[in-house]
Amino acid sequence: MSRLNVYAKNSMKIYLAIVMIVFLFAGCSGNADSEHTTATTVVQPPPRQVLRDERRPGPRTPLESYSDNLYNPSSLGKPLLVLNLPKKDQTFREGEEVVIDFSLHRVKLRGEGGEYRVRYMVDDDDMQWIDRWEQVVLTGWLPGKHTIRVELIGPDGWPYRNGDFNIATREITIDK
């Protein structure tokens, strides 16, 4: 009986070796050269917009010149931010500067000894802070539609609400 087991073990090894060789040749054969390959195409990510901001002392436009458009009984005596530029749906050429200019009333910014700050965001990207009343000039725009959001931030770190004021959003278009 022991002889039968030895022959069975050897024939089993031979049988397994033959099956493995058949699978190996079957897996490597085929009619098409690329039948078992995956084509990989490298696609570059879209260019990322990198804006450069330059701070310039700008004219401090008093809000009295806007008083006809801003009358709101709830805003009397409260801090107020008005975005002057850019105009709504304004179009710029590629390479042209976009100036964020704003006016403040009853507000002292942190860099001038106050407790308030102004922040802006472009296309829901990282927040940028303005602690002095100055213009922000942005360059390096990619062509397309962009959104600029400017907010007055109160001493508690949250946007200071004053009716429909203190949070301004503008859409601009950059053409080639």
pLDDT bucket at 116, cuts 50 / 70 / 90: very high
Query: Token pair of 94, please?
Result: 């590629």
- Report pLDDT digits (tens) over 100-115: 888 888 899 999 999 9
Do you know the residue count of the chain? 176
Which pLDDT does position 137 carry in this prediction?
A: 94
Number of other CB atoms surrounding residue 138 within 10 Å: 20
How far lies 6's CA from each of 10, 26, 52, 143, 157, in Å? Answer: 6, 30, 81, 79, 84
This prediction has a pTM of 0.67
Looking at residue 165, the DSSP 8-state letter turns out to be: B
For CA atoms 154, 158, 160, 165, give the dihedral sign: positive
Q: Given a cut of 60, is residue 26 above it in pLDDT? A: yes
CA distance 98 to 167: 19
Report how far Cα 120 is from the mean position of its chain's Cα atoms: 12
Rounded mean pLDDT, 146-169: 90
β-strand partners of 172: 90, 146
How far lies 41's CA from each of 44, 47, 64, 70, in Å? Answer: 10, 18, 60, 56
- Stretch (H or E) spanning 138: strand 135-139
**Domains assigned to the chain:** 52-175 (2.60.40.10)
| Highest mean predicted confidence (pLDDT) among 61-65, 77-81, 86-90, 170-174 | 170-174
